[in-house]
């Protein structure tokens, strides 16, 4: 087995040098490539969730709009909903229960709400029975997270 030139291998306040074998060098290179691929796949999985969420959002479209030009309908516009205080979209008439809930729509809070709106906010106007499939809820939330308050997709 051949060794390379002396290489810095540890920094514990004092630098130490040792020789790195070709095998050790190969293992490190494979590790770097593997981590890079995993990070790339994690990013594309998120994009797939948002794409699936757009399809899962079809049940929400009966009452809600999102995107450029969205208007309040049976329910409020969902542009920029992630991070927004519940009951605050301008021009929409919310139930007292929703407006006074004190909730902020974080992904976690929205996940609970989408599972069972009446459980999270009793007496809300939202009569939707809930989206029971956890994966679909996560997908819908990933879809919603793409949109800023202006309805444009975030870059």
Nearest partner of 141 among 114, 102, 101, 121, judged by Cα = 114
The full length of the chain comes to 155
Distance CA 103, CA 113 (A): 10
Does this model's pTM top 0.75? My answer is no
pLDDT at position 27 over 80 = no
Measure the N-to-C terminal CA separation of the chain; round to a whole number of Å. 49
The class of domain 55-145 in CATH terms is mainly alpha
Q: Report residue 61 as tokens.
A: 């479209």
Q: Across the strands, what pairs with 147?
A: 153
pLDDT at position 29 over 70 = no
Domain assignments of the chain as residue spans, ordered by start: 55-145
- Confidence class for position 149, pLDDT limits 50, 70, 90: very high
Q: Helix H segments across 1-100?
A: 22-56, 96-99
């Amino acid at each position: 087995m051949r060794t390379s030139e002396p290489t810095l291998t540890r920094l514990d306040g004092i630098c130490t040098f040792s020789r790195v074998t070709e095998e050790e060098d190969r293992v490190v290179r494979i590790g770097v490539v593997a981590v890079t691929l995993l990070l790339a796949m994690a990013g594309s999985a998120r994009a797939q969730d948002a794409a699936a969420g757009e399809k899962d959002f079809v049940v929400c479209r009966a009452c809600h709009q999102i995107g450029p030009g969205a208007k309040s309908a049976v329910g409020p516009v969902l542009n920029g909903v992630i991070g927004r205080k519940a009951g605050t979209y301008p021009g929409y008439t919310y139930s007292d229960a929703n407006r006074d809930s004190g909730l902020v729509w974080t992904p976690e809070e929205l996940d609970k709400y989408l599972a069972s709106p009446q459980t999270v906010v009793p007496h809300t106007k939202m009569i939707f029975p809930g989206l029971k499939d956890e994966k679909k809820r996560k997908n819908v939330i990933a879809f919603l997270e793409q949109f800023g308050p202006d309805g444009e997709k975030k870059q």
